[in-house]
Structure 1
Amino acid sequence: MLAERVRSAPPWSGLPVAGAEYRNLVLAGAGGPERLTAAADLAVRIAGYDEYPMVYPRRIELVRAGADWRVEREEAASGPPAPWDFGPLRSAPGAHCLVLGPAAGPDPAELVAVGDRAVPAVTEVWGGDWPGRLLLERPATGEQFARLLEGDPAGWTGMAAVTVAAAGAPWHTPADRVLVNPEAYRRLSDFGRQVVVTHEATHVATRADTRAWTPLWLSEGIADWTAYRDSGRSPRQIAPELARDVADGKLPTALPADQDFTAGATGISQAYEQAWLACELIAREHGPGRLVALYRAVGAADGQGEDRERRTDRLLRRELGVGLDDFTRLWLEQVAALKG
């Protein structure tokens, strides 16, 4: 097959690749028998991390090289670019993580250390039913970060990291890697960086228990709760934007809606802080084990035939003995208490 005769200097050199191949070649002439153009899927798997390969639709130009064909030029055909489209990469392994970044970029040692601290902290809460390893990708710029997410750079300015699935992986594949926004990450304190990466590592660890019907106040709140656990910080230190709103008399009337967590949304900081406070309330009143059990119960629930609010109410009653309305009332009391 022609796909087996395509040779190229791998642009992903510097990465621990377990396998790479071009699939589904569709050929077209390119002005002579020695040249071809092709559409193809490039499948690349990171050793030790990818259950499924990253798959990138590519446009390639081929030149005959004896009995084989050599890739002369390659570019993205659709979807997000590959990380190596921005330039040469390097990898840095840690005890519990692997950091991928530009070969000419900053020393990855700091991010490796943050990832290595995040994984055990998450495992302490969620147990060993996840791979217990973290793949961190840090591009060179915020613009590259947004391009990898196929988003508007302006909308991602304030997001320091996001958990994503491997490009082209099957639709049901849980998000399994963390994409770091280098510009937003750089602005954080050492403590803030640890919180961000531990938050995202929690998403990786809990993806098997997360469903489309899981309220974002619960999934984002529990990730922040895991990240801030045992930090020794007060609620007002963890939720400063919300505390300022409360001091100004601006109190929420309901738990944050999913759209409140959209990148670039007005009040997104307050939404995250409100979600953390909701999960902190559950852990304080019922114990961390009940918070984890509630999260898993929501994920295990049948997603058919019951609207999300009714399902959340039923599971709150079953796991905590309190319905959604009463829980919201108790949470609002905690919000009001931030006034001091």
Structure 2
Amino acid sequence: MATRWGICGAGRISHDFTVALKTLPAGDHQVVAVAARKLEGAQEFAKKHSISRAYGSYEELARDPDIDVVYIGVIHPYHLSTCLLFTNAKKNVLCEKPLAMNSREVQEILDSAKKNDVFLMEAVWTRFFPASVEIRRLLAQGELGEVKMVRAEFGLPLMHIPRSSQKELGAGTMLDLGIYCLQFICMVYNREKPECIQATGTCQETGVDESVIVTLKFSNNRLAVFTSSSAMALPNSAIIVGTKGTIQIPDHMWCPTTLDVNGKVTQYPLPEPYLPLNCIKSTGMRYEAEEVRQCLLKGLKESAVMSHSDSVLLAGLEDEIRKQVGVVYSQDSK
């Protein structure tokens, strides 16, 4: 029986996620309904993607009895209220990253999911790519020996987009781009909390971070460093350095389809989309969608690959980095 999806939000990322779902077997994944703040937007989205139901409010989607899981693709200042709406309606949830604006909000969402006995996962899609699965396998088998250094960078010129400069829209490179580097480091170091974090950055006049450089020190003198920027294009690569070799993601580290392991390069191609995408390689969201399906089939309330504790760790590190760079959102004072 197909996993029946509801799409919350009719924007660019929801479009890409819906396109990605269509690359999976129709007998496994079905989009039943879409909801937007305006009915016209939902109807336009539904027509484009051949979805039978369109709602002009999120509440209507929450009341739909035929939805197994809701994908939340709204901007992150609204993640808390939207997640709570669906978890309190006993709906399983896959919510775009970052799960929330800070640790307090993340904990509130997780508490609600637990209270209502529903599945919830932060949509850190990178973790589910075949290349990421291979990285974890290589590390678990000790192919690199002891990892000593991890480096990652993610920078794109996004300052022309209001969502990247306006604080009330949740702007800031840490929550938008840096989170990908940070989750990668946390994955490589097996969810260990760093002993020390040093962050520096530049902020816009609006008070949001434009570029950040972060150094993290882990136990046994293991290090990590990442750079993220919403103002400039970076090489967007990542490297893991161990005592026995290296793993490199040469580009697009947030959606990896190429791995270089000690000089041996392997490609992990993605299926072609049936409609044009807004973001590069977005059909790769199919892997996180299939993870959700497998978890639901097993009756799990969280994914072992991107667990609740992973989201708590990420949020705590994001809070500390923002604090050091001097970025404060209105949600931080509640």
Structure with the larger RCO, 1 or 2 (CA within 8 Å, 6+ apart)? 2
TM-score (norm 2): 0.25
Higher helix share: 1
Bigger radius of gyration? 1
TM-score (norm 1): 0.25
